[in-house]
Amino acid sequence: MRNQLSASAASDFIVQTKSDNDLIIGLAGNPNVGKSTVFNALTGMHQHTGNWPGKTVTNARGVCTYHNRNYILVDIPGTYSLLSHSPEEEAARDFLCYGNPDGVIVVCDATCLERNLNLVLQILEITHRVVVCVNLMDEANKKKIRIDTDALSQKLGVPVVTTSAKNKTGLPNLMETLERMLQHPSESAYCVTYPDPIEEAISALATYLPGDTLRYTRQRARKLLEDEVLPLEFSNDAGISTAFLHAKSLLRSHNFTQNTYRDTVATALVTQGEQIARDVVTFEDENYEKRDRIIDRLLTGKLTGIPLMLLLFAGIFWLTITGANYPSQLLSSLFSHGEQLLFAGCVSIGLPPWLCSLLCAGIFRVVGWIVSVMLPPMAIFFPLFTLLEDLGYLPRIAFNLDKAFQCCKACGKQALTMCMGFGCNAVGVVGCRIIDSPRERLLAILTNSFVPCNGRFPTLIAMISMFFAITSPYSSLWQAFCLTLTVTAGIGMTFAVSYLLSKTLLRGHPSSFTLELPPYRKPKIGKILIRSMLDRTVFVLGRALAVAAPAGLVLWLCANVEIGSQTILSYLSGWFDPFARWFGLDGVILTAFLLGLPANEIVIPIMLMAYLSHGSLTDASDLLSLKQILLQNGWTQITALCTMVFSLFHWPCSTTLITIKKETNSVKWTVISALLPTVIGFFICFVIATVSKLIF
Amino acid sequence: MDFIFPLSQLPMGQNATVLKILTSGTMRRRLQDLGIIPGTQIECVLKSPAGDPVAYRIRGALIALRKKDSETILMNP
């Protein structure tokens, strides 16, 4: 599976230029050094950023025009090194080696330059057309870390620029330096040197290898000598084969094994980076991290870590619920007025009644429902969540929960992919690429839909506020508590299922795990709130139009086209009804979930339309009247509870399923990812329904 | 004093020097990528609520390692 993944990742890197004049520039660097921020600032795009390593899993590309020339920037996923074999590192290496970039900007973290130099040196082995961009200078200044960039540039033999991409400082200089470098690439870029026997072996092989520069053939030789046999592309060449055998015997005569060779290479890179850093970086304040450690001791403390995490989430949920109330009501009354106006308008221009009804009760109402009920909570939840993300809290969640994941033989980084799942499960599934081990990645992919996504979250909130609210001044707190409980149930199920899968279908041991905890960063609050709110609004509206509007059309047809004496919708729901009753649901609910496969957002609108097609109420734009409709159709708290459970645990939406198919390359796992939550959902609903029938 | 102990036994707030990495394969690569080679100074900085993983200061970065991995890194005081 790993090979398939890396192959598909590598093919993403082939860049098409629009004209011969366009230049392809790779943006490389360690994880979480602000590559995406640099990328956004240069291209004016809005690639997702956040303070945690591994966000960028797909390679975004954008165009930056400077002095009338197009620079196509490719945002390569962050890697610590090019020596390992994770899919991202291979993809990054493939892009640098075979993607023919005209130049590479290596973004470094000024607060942690030494570690970053390791990658810089490895990239300098491949190409000398490099600009080193020392980013996060503002943070380094605050921590009193001084960097002598002139000395660094002199030592590396390539231009060095300092930036603070968040504040957009240093970027014009970066482009100017890049332009100059491309015109006159440095001839004296740093060359990593290895102990004598390795140098001899590299030289012996490198002269026979194809490549434009000695630098590049040396790197290829060094890489080839790691393995015992030549890859197919070279093994047919007699010259290369002989040179390879000669170089190998040279290494063997100096007692190098495959392992000691690799160790020596890694050590040479690290020590040379260390030497350079020693001469250019000075720490004027040794206690620069005091504040971070105090916060960390609270947020990851033995007694405080987990409770604070739950409290933080409950707090965000509370703000979401209370904050969304008013705009939600406002929007729904606006939409219901709008619908009346639209209907009157349609009638007045002489459209046939069925078309008026289709436009207003079909398309407009579904879109209106989604915008008024889905948008406000999401436009509040996500900015708050982004705030946590930019502060650097998400890796701490992974740190806190890793032990639990370890017990389930899974990877702690799964916590990060779950956080992404809140936004959209399809995004969460793609995000699982940050997990190295294929087995653990599969666990994370299969369980991602246990986190309620953007399309289900508001449904849960609506259910809670309709059926589980209490009449007390603390009602909103209670609702936040209920929501936290629901989300925790999803997380608990993630652990349980991961554990079971590790014991059955995906047997194995937890693999290597390293997680970088970045420094806390003060987010630009105002900017983030607005940016994230706009992004989310665009996302929800985009889905509303792309999925809900056509779905509204189909649904209206289902609810109004009659076959015999019944509409299609009532025929379907009547057929499912006896079955659904076993699980505390009814035919309409089950039909709604089935028809909601393209997008979970439309589940409640489908229910509404089905109920209304034989009901008397016409206006159902706010929650109060919705509750009336549901009660009229025999809903109880048990029905609501079962609907919530089923919303949390049922098949993922079609977009997510397609993404799972793409990421796993397997129909089998895609089917399992749909069956698993469905079976669980039905089972829990069955238990709830049966127990409640016994009690009441 | 010249005794050897695994990184997992390094007390909070203490420093020590890497002597040898015992693990092989992917994890060895990962550790080297992070700059852990013989001679590297490592400080134990932060314990997670369950006591595992533990976060270490390695070449200026804060890196969390699981106990089963930090047990394979031999240290010198």
Domains belonging to chain B, first-starting first, are 5-76 (2.30.30.90)
Query: What is the radius of gyration, based on Cα positions, of chain A?
Result: 29
| Total structural domains within chain A | 3
pLDDT at site A557: 81
Whether residue A558 lies inside any domain: the answer is yes
A504 interfacial to chain B (CB closer than 8 Å):
no
Tell me if A286 is assigned to some domain.
Answer: no
A74 inside domain:
yes
Please report which helix (H) or strand (E) contains residue A696, including its range. none
Residue that terminates a domain, selected from A230, A254, A278: A254
Query: pLDDT band at A364, cuts 50/70/90?
Result: confident
CATH number at residue A158: 3.40.50.300
**For residue A20, what are the contacts with CB-CB under 8 A and spacing of at least 6?**
none
With an 8 Å Cβ cutoff, is B53 touching chain A? yes
Task: Answer yes or no: do A82 and A42 share one domain.
Answer: yes
Each residue of A524-564: pLDDT tens digit?
A: 788 777 877 887 788 777 877 777 778 778 877 877 777 77
SS3 of residue A130 by DSSP = strand
> HEC string of A315-342?
HHHHHHHHHHHHHHHHHHHHHHHHHHHH
Per-residue pLDDT for A160 more than 50? yes
Which pLDDT value is given to residue A680? 94
Mark whether A178 and A197 lie in a shared domain. no
The domain in which residue A208 lies consists of: 193-254
**Which of A254, A272, A293 is at the close of a domain?**
A254
Question: Is there a single domain that holds both residue A198 and residue A164?
Answer: no
Which residue has 């703000």 as its token pair?
A: A319
Q: How confident is the model at residue A618 (pLDDT cuts 50, 70, 90)?
A: low
DSSP 8-state secondary structure symbol assigned to residue B10:
P
Whether A214 maps to a domain, the answer reads yes
Contacts of A293 (CB under 8 A, 6+ apart): B45, B46
Query: CA-nearest residue of chain B to A396?
Result: B48
Task: Give the one of A118, A274, A406 whose C-beta lies nearest to B66's C-beta.
Answer: A406
Q: Which residue has the tokens 């209490």?
A: A470
Q: Which residues in A lie closer than 8 A to residue B29 (C-beta atoms)?
A: 81, 83-85, 262, 266
In a domain, A472, yes or no: yes
Residue with tokens 């990054």: A92
In a domain? residue A225: yes
- DSSP 8-state secondary structure symbol assigned to residue A77: P
d(CA A666, CA A691): 38
A80 at interface of B, judged by CB pairs closer than 8 A = yes
Average per-residue pLDDT in chain B? Answer: 91
Minimum distance, in Å, between the CA of residue A404 and any CA atom of chain B: 9
Cα A197 from chain centre: 44
| Residues A120, A213 within the same domain | no
Q: Are residues A244 and A390 in the same domain?
A: no
Please tell me whether residue A499 adopts helix, strand or coil conformation: helix
Q: Are A177 and A235 contained in the same domain?
A: no
- DSSP code of residue A164: B
Interface residue of B32, B37, B52 to substitute, partner A, most A CBs within 10 Å = B32
Q: A258 vs chain B: nearest CA distance in angstroms?
A: 11
Return the number of other C-beta atoms located less than 10 Å from residue A470's C-beta: 11
Length of chain B, please? Answer: 77
| Domain presence at residue A432 | yes
- How far apart CA B20 and CA B30 sit, in angstroms, is 15
A147, A310, A513, A521: which to substitute to probe chain B, counting the most B Cβ within 10 Å? A513
Q: Which residues of B touch A400 (CB under 8 A)?
A: 48-49
The per-residue pLDDT for range A162-201, each reduced to its tens digit, is 999 888 888 999 999 999 999 998 888 999 999 999 999 9
Residue A455: per-residue pLDDT: 83
Residue A49 neighbours by CB under 8 Å, 6+ apart: A34, A36, A37, A40, A55, A390
A309 and B CB contact within 8 Å: no
CA distance A127 to chain B (A): 20
Asked if residue A617 has pLDDT above 70, the reply is no
What pLDDT is recorded for position A9? 42
Q: How far is CA B40 from the centre of its chain?
A: 9
A10 compared with A569, residue with greater pLDDT: A569
Chain A hits for B33, Cβ within 8 Å: 80-81, 83-84, 118, 266
User: Shortest Cα distance from B29 to chain A (angstroms)?
Assistant: 6
Tell me the nearest-neighbour CA distance from B6 into chain A, angstroms: 17
B-chain residues within 8 Å CB-CB of A271? 37
- Is the residue at A602 inside a domain? yes
Collapsed DSSP state (helix, strand, coil) of residue B3: coil
**pLDDT band, residue A113 (cuts 50/70/90):** very high
Q: Taking CB atoms and an 8 Å cutoff, what residues of chain B touch A80?
A: 30, 33-34
Average pLDDT of the segment spanning A614-630: 66
Q: Which of A218, A233, A254 is the last residue of a domain?
A: A254
Statement: residue A442 has pLDDT above 90: yes
Same domain, A119 and A58: yes
On whether both A57 and A123 belong to a single domain, the answer is yes
Q: How far apart are CA A329 and CA A231, in angstroms?
A: 65
Chain A and chain B share a number of CB contacts under 8 A equal to: 126
The ipTM of this complex is 0.94
Check residue A58 and give its pLDDT. 65
- For residue A126, is pLDDT > 80? yes
Nearest to B48 among A266, A400, A518 (CB): A400
> Mutating which of B43, B48, B52 best tests the A interface, going by the most A Cβ atoms within 10 A?
B48
CB A295 within 8 A of CB B60: no
A370, A492: one domain: yes
Both A10 and A159 in one domain: the answer is yes
Shared domain check, A455 and A574 = yes
- How long, in residues, is chain A? 696
Contacts of B53 in chain A (CB under 8 A): 399, 402-403, 412, 513, 515
Contact A203, A189 (CB under 8 A): no
**pLDDT of amino acid B75:** 94
Please report residues of B whose CB lies closer than 8 A to that of A81. Answer: 29, 32-33
Say whether both A138 and A222 belong to one domain. no
Closest CA to A648 of A529, A530, A525, A492: A492
